[in-house]
Amino acid sequence: MQLTTSDADWTKQCNRCTCMWVSGRKTANCSNKDFNVIPRDLSTAVRDIDFSNNPLYNLNDNELGEAKLADIHKLKFQNCSIEFL
């Protein structure tokens, strides 16, 4: 399978996360990256994100919207010590 330019570009907009195709979805693995806020520079093409094992104590009302991640299908926040949602 050959990637188009637009397919290849989204994997480079991942901050310190690892972006890849998983089960037909654009996925970002952001686990264990010591994030204390949702990164604002992830590709808007990402649909599944794993934020597990990050100190994300507070998630504000529009945190994903401000990061332009409004079309997420699946989020994982395992072991994030979330105290305020």
Question: Side by side, which strands form the sheet with 18-22?
Answer: 18-22, 25-29, 48-50, 74-76
Query: Which pLDDT score, from 0 to 100, does residue 18 have?
Result: 95
Q: How confident is the model at residue 8 (pLDDT cuts 50, 70, 90)?
A: low
Rounded to the nearest 10 degrees, how much is the dihedral formed by the CA atoms of 53, 54, 55, 60? -120
* pTM as predicted: 0.84
Please tell me the distance from the alpha carbon of residue 31 to that of residue 54, in angstroms, as a whole number: 6
Structure tokens at 50: 């794993």
What would the mean pLDDT of 9-14 be, rounded to a whole number? 86
